[in-house]
Amino acid sequence: MNVKDFDYDLPEELIAQDPLEDRSSSRLMVLDRKTGEVEHKHFTDILEYLHPGDCLVINNTKVIPARLFGVKEETQAKIEVLLLKRKENDVWETLVKPGKKAKPGTKIVFGEGLLTGEVIDVVDEGNRLIQFHYEGIFEEILDQLGQMPLPPYITHQLQDKNRYQTVYAKYDGSAAAPTAGLHFTKELLEKVKQMGVEIAEITLHVGLGTFRPVKVENVLDHHMHSEFYMVSAEAAEKINRAKESGHRVIAVGTTSTRTLEAAADKNGRLREISGWTEIFIYPGYQFKVIDALITNFHLPQSTLVMLVSALAGREHVLNAYKVAVQEKYRFFSFGDAMFIK
């Protein structure tokens, strides 16, 4: 399976740079995964495609303002630090720019000393382990000094941090938003509940590996990044109940999909569980849990295009993307949505 099999042409002007004023006013392409037929709707029309008894699964992770700008204590040279993964005792795995000059022992000052850090080790892929020092509560300092780690294809400054956050975000830990959920407003979710659709909340902390391009020619040689997930007993019960009663499990986003498929046993049943997953879903994969998916339009040659192709078929997906380009849909994190039914 060649990575070029998942390529498509995308004019740069279709990459959405800013979120829409009204979250739920984005467009919605509906793709029938059996026939490949597409319909053009608006996101609020999602209600037409949900049925009482269905279970909608949302990822309640919260993006942390993980991008920090500081200076090296010795030289006052500017340095950028991106928090990737919390280890222990205020040690974080980070991505540092420029990295080569951040050798172990390097001390970095942020916010005129409100936060300081020392590089203590170099780990996989050149990432740095940094030990942070501060007084007070780390999350509050981060909120004060940090910026949202927007994907590399977004060049505009984000005016409101909350727009790169779902309305149901709860648990700090992501370096990127589960963007399919950005389309939901509290009002729309209330309407979903009133229809008799169950909403199950799971957690997967999204890593920056989600944007990492597939650099190998053979897709099967790609190594997936590891991400932490949690499924509560309550969520497992709701999802199992929907499956057992013949209703659909509809994942909001590829992160919810990966969580459910990683957490389920071979019969598609879930229980309370947490752990790390490196699950890689590509065509040929047999889905155990999800029946339908709400998602955004993803980068060419990405693992996310491969995941949606596993669900709806590569040809159907690439044709739908071609139509989306012709119809000038907005792409990627702040872009429009797709419902694969």
Q: pLDDT (tens digit, 9 = 90+) per residue, 11-35?
A: 999 999 999 999 999 999 999 999 9
Question: Per the structure block, which two tokens stand in for 187?
Answer: 């009002």
Whether residue 213 has pLDDT greater than 90 = no
Q: pLDDT (tens digit, 9 = 90+) per residue, 120-145?
A: 999 988 899 999 999 999 999 999 99
Over pLDDT 90: what percentage of the chain? Answer: 86
Identify the band that residue 211 occupies on the pLDDT scale cut at 50, 70 and 90: low
Whether residue 151 has pLDDT greater than 90 = no
On whether the CB atoms of residues 90 and 138 are closer than 8 A, the answer is yes
Most confident of 146-155, 204-213, 313-322: 313-322
Whether residue 81 has pLDDT greater than 80 = yes
For 196-225, b/e burial (b = at least 16 CB within 10 A) is ebbbbbbbbbbbbbbbeebeeeebeebebb
Q: What is the pTM of this model?
A: 0.92
What are the C-alpha distances in Å from 263 to residues 12, 251, 259, 288? 37, 14, 6, 10
Q: pLDDT (tens digit, 9 = 90+) per residue, 163-194?
A: 999 999 999 999 899 999 999 999 999 999 99
